[in-house]
Amino acid sequence: MNVANSTGQLQTKPARKAGGGARSRRTTGAKGKGKSRFLTALAVTAWTFYLYLHFSGPSGSGGGDPCRGRYIYMYNLPPRFNADIIRDCRKTDDHWGDLCASLSNAGLGRALADDGGVFTGEAGWYDTNQFALDAIFHDRMKRYECLTNRSSAAAAVFVPFYAGFDFARYHDDGAARDAASTDLMVWLTGQFQWGRRMGGLDHFLVAGRTGFDFFRRGISDVDTGRGNGLLMRAARNMSVLVLESTLRHGGDYAVPYPTYFHPRSDADVLRWQDRVRGQRRTRLMAFVVAPGPDTPVNIRVRDHVITQCKASSACAMLGCARSPGSSRCHTHTPANIMRLFQKASFCLQPPGNSWTRRSVFDSMVAGCIPVFFHAASAYRQYRWHLPKRHLDYSVYIPDADVRERNVSIEAVLRAIPPATVERMREEVIKLIPTVIYADPRSRLETIKDAFDVAVEGILNLVARIKNGEELDSGRPVSDDSPKNLYVSTESTFRPK
């Protein structure tokens, strides 16, 4: 009989003997059953392997995994929670000021050209808006080396909701200001990752404003207080990274304001550190100031600092005027501000509209030692980013001493021995990487920036919650707070 072989060619095959057909059918049946059992076993093995990978995740794959315990899952939110907010910013330009125009270059703003030698030969300098962190952090998270698309493998979950930008467009509109955050919670609570994990306790988002912009005592529609209620209702189970904590809610954690410097490589950072280390400091102290809030002069330490700075030949001050509808300083360019900070040994940082200010971080990038007048300006904030030994990198003069006893700021600073000043400045220079955000389009290799430190802080926080520590809605217990917060330290430097 002619049949086709496996190559399609015809070949002659002898006829079967009588009775061979029955034996062939029995053999074929046995083979079929064996094949079926093999396929069943293969399917069970494949399914078991899938379940192992899905539920154990990369973090359980052994000690050689560099991302073990560091995986983060990021929601793919509907664009109404992020991209559409930016796209529609022109519609509410009166609320946004110039923030809308400053979100180019992955949120960094326009690149800064050299101005008088301040940035000569340096890369990574941008005219960054202080409230642009929502976009900067999101773009950086998209390139996070331990990002995973399997939530079961993640140690924490990132929610890329642009809460800061949402506040900018609707904070004065009582009917609309809560809409997006309320809608977000409806969306989140319907997700598998929310309900089957920790009810949001392992979730976090970034809101690039102060915590007070998201906090108000009441969250009813008739409440006319400032804030959109995010910290009270929508995000009460989540951790929220803000530019300044309220120190009330417990779930909002302070991270540094964006500065003008966004390096693209380790070399950019090291080169800048060497540059500020070699600067000749011709001024004892410097102060960049904007118009203050409408508060009684007897409780406003900033006015007293201004008065002392103007009266001292050792103090250089830049008065900063604001344009209508804008929160930015237009009197002086970033180059002017950074030039001033590079020439001073100490930079005065009294509270302004809130406890702290962006100037703290701009001055530290310039290698200038910050002088604080309130413990909440830094010591009770930025606990992940700044040392617990406050006097290693800063000077503290309590505001009451300046307001009530008219203590001389200049006398306090001049009393610090030169060798101590050098040690403090070196500590500030070492801290530069931890208070800057690298360019989201690149990546530092060995240096940790403010983003890296913040992510580590969140991962450690979630790990503590998973370990069963006593936390209230993600809120640290009292043991989390630094000891002796308000111990007076001015006597360390004050002349006798």
Give Cα separations from 343 to 33, 99, 141, 347 (angstroms): 86, 29, 35, 10
d(CA 281, CA 272): 16
pLDDT at 298: 47
Nearest to 409 by CA among 281, 321, 302: 302
d(CA 53, CA 47): 10
Q: Which residue has the higher pLDDT, 439 or 229?
A: 439
Dump the DSSP string for 443-484: --SS---HHHHHHHHHHHHHHHHHTT---BTTBPPGGGSPSS
Pick the range with the lowest mean pLDDT from 99-113, 146-160, 293-307, 376-390.
293-307
Give the H/E segment covering residue 84: helix 83-87
pLDDT at 27: 46
What pTM does this model have?
0.80
The pLDDT tens digits of the residues spanning 299-309 come to 588 889 999 99
How many beta carbons lie within 10 A of that of residue 365, not counting itself?
24
d(CA 379, CA 371): 12
Contact 226, 213 (CB under 8 A): yes
Query: Which backbone phi and psi does 275 adopt, to 5 degrees?
Result: -65, -50
pLDDT at 492: 44
d(CA 243, CA 255): 5
d(CA 57, CA 72): 12
d(CA 137, CA 106): 9
How many beta carbons lie within 10 A of that of residue 160, not counting itself?
20
- pLDDT over 80 at 222, yes or no: no
DSSP lists the bridge partners of residue 329 as 322
- pLDDT over 80 at 250, yes or no: no
- pLDDT over 70 at 92, yes or no: no
Contact 360, 378 (CB under 8 A): yes
Q: What mean pLDDT is predicted for residues 339-353?
A: 93
| Tokens 């509907």 belong to residue | 78
The pLDDT tens digits of the residues spanning 422-451 come to 999 999 999 999 999 999 999 899 999 999
The pLDDT tens digits of the residues spanning 450-473 come to 999 999 999 999 998 888 775 543
Residue 155's contacts (CB-CB under 8 Å, 6 or more residues apart) are 59, 69, 70, 71, 72, 202, 459, 462, 463
Q: C-alpha 18: how far from its chain's center?
A: 83
d(CA 30, CA 27): 5
pLDDT at 281: 95
Residue 227's contacts (CB-CB under 8 Å, 6 or more residues apart) are 167, 171, 212, 213, 214, 215, 216
How many beta carbons lie within 10 A of that of residue 266, not counting itself?
15
- First CA to last CA across the chain, in angstroms? 118
* Cα angle 473, 474, 477; round to 5: 100
- pLDDT grade for 232, boundaries at 50, 70 and 90: low
Contact 422, 437 (CB under 8 A): no
d(CA 362, CA 290): 15
